[in-house]
Amino acid sequence: MRIAFYAPMKSPDAPTPSGDRRMARLLMEALRIGGHEVALASRFRSWSADPSGHAALWEAADAETARLLRGYASAGENFETRPELWFTYHLYYKAPDWIGPAVAEALGIPYIVAEASYAPKRAAGPWAASHAAAETAVRRASAICAINPADSACLAPLLDDVTRLQALPPFLDTVPFTVDRASAAAALRRETGFSGAFPIALTVAMMRPGDKRESYRVLADALRQVADDGCRIDLAIIGGGDAQPDIADDFAGLPEGSVRFLGARSGDHLPALLTGADLYVWPAIREAYGMAILEAQAAGLPVIAGDSGGVSAIVQHGETGLLTPEGDVPAFAAAIGALARDAERRQKMGTAAVQRVARDHTLASAAARLNMIINDVTQRRAA
């Protein structure tokens, strides 16, 4: 099937690395593995941090829709790049999909969405118009693939048939994570200057104001409590962004040399860096689910994370890691201390994490799941 793919929040080929961009690319790859021809339909970005910016974006989206429809119509019904299905990844009130529903309706093709979210509290106020656009897209979708299970409760009431809401567990390509652990650990020690005498924790996250900054603050406060409790752990941080100076200040006062900022890295470098560490830590304040958390488990790391959003769907508490109440600094510190002192438990959890990812979160499993959803949609339309 020819599939037009679109990500209104961030294009799959955007230059800045992010979990959102990685998942968009992975979805395209999973669809291709499933035997489909996938083309990036548009790079138009509908995301705005300010609701007042959506008025101009809405007009631009109308122009982009018209451009696409002219192109699809120019060569007639047999145009080889004319899509048979439209697939949108990640829409919500800050990044509504104004294009996909209109194109799908004009062409008479199915419209499928992955990772939609709906926030009823935005129905009134400055975000009302873009919130309504996101709601319209959800209601028009032939199927919604719920990557974050926490979204389902608010999405289900919008659907006349709740079976249109289908689970699609987060997934990744596990092949890059088959890295020799001893070599990766040695490389990470060389890059960070850590001696290896203490467990090495790693976190991967953009450094932005808001929820990311708050997660970093919780992490820094927890590490201070761990140090006060007489436990030493070294931390390597991968990520960059405007809030980096403030975040660096948050980690001031920790044992000298125990924190290293490695800057932003491309996805190609992450498997080796993750595999070289001993555990992964991230408080996950208002996190959807966290691609880096899934990647850490694929690399064989036990994860300590805040129990928010869909994190509990990918981290099995007590088996592949430890989950703590969102924003609870003492609980997060206690979890770090527990695993820092128990190498055998870390190893068991890391092994269980690799096994669970291989069972439930691979490209192959996602391809099969997506084909099941697409086949269901096409059969319903045929009927």
pLDDT recorded at residue 73: 87
β-bridge pairing 303-307 and 279-282: parallel
Q: How confident is the model at residue 141 (pLDDT cuts 50, 70, 90)?
A: very high
Whether residue 86 is found in the same domain as residue 138: yes
- Radius of gyration, CA atoms only, the chain: 22
Instruction: In whole angstroms, give the CA distance from residue 61 to residue 109.
Output: 19
pLDDT digits 0-9 by tens, 316-363: 999 999 999 999 999 999 999 999 999 999 999 999 999 999 999 999
Whether residue 181 is found in the same domain as residue 319: yes
Instruction: In whole angstroms, give the CA distance from residue 347 to residue 278.
Output: 8
Whether residue 202 is found in the same domain as residue 133: no
Whether residue 246 is found in the same domain as residue 260: yes
Please state the φ and ψ torsions of residue 166, each to the nearest 5 degrees.
-125, 140
Instruction: In whole angstroms, give the CA distance from residue 346 to residue 200.
Output: 12
pLDDT recorded at residue 20: 87
Whether residue 144 is found in the same domain as residue 260: no
Whether residue 247 is found in the same domain as residue 336: yes
Residue 202 sits at the vertex; the CA angle it makes with 197 and 206, to the nearest 5 degrees, is 150
Whether residue 140 is found in the same domain as residue 25: yes
Whether residue 134 is found in the same domain as residue 206: no
pLDDT recorded at residue 30: 98
Instruction: In whole angstroms, give the CA distance from residue 360 to residue 125.
Output: 40
Percent of the chain predicted with pLDDT > 90: 86
Whether residue 198 is found in the same domain as residue 157: no
Is the model's pLDDT at 78 over the cut of 60?
no
Range of the domain at 31: 2-171+362-382
Whether residue 41 is found in the same domain as residue 183: no
Q: Tally the domains of the chain.
A: 2
SS3 194: coil
Whether residue 351 is found in the same domain as residue 207: yes
Whether residue 123 is found in the same domain as residue 270: no
Mean pLDDT over 252-257 rounds to 91
pLDDT digits 0-9 by tens, 235-244: 999 999 999 9
What does pLDDT average to over the chain? Answer: 94
Is the model's pLDDT at 81 over the cut of 80?
no
- 318: its two tokens: 């007590």
What's the CATH number where 276 sits? 3.40.50.2000
Is the model's pLDDT at 64 over the cut of 80?
yes
pLDDT recorded at residue 111: 98
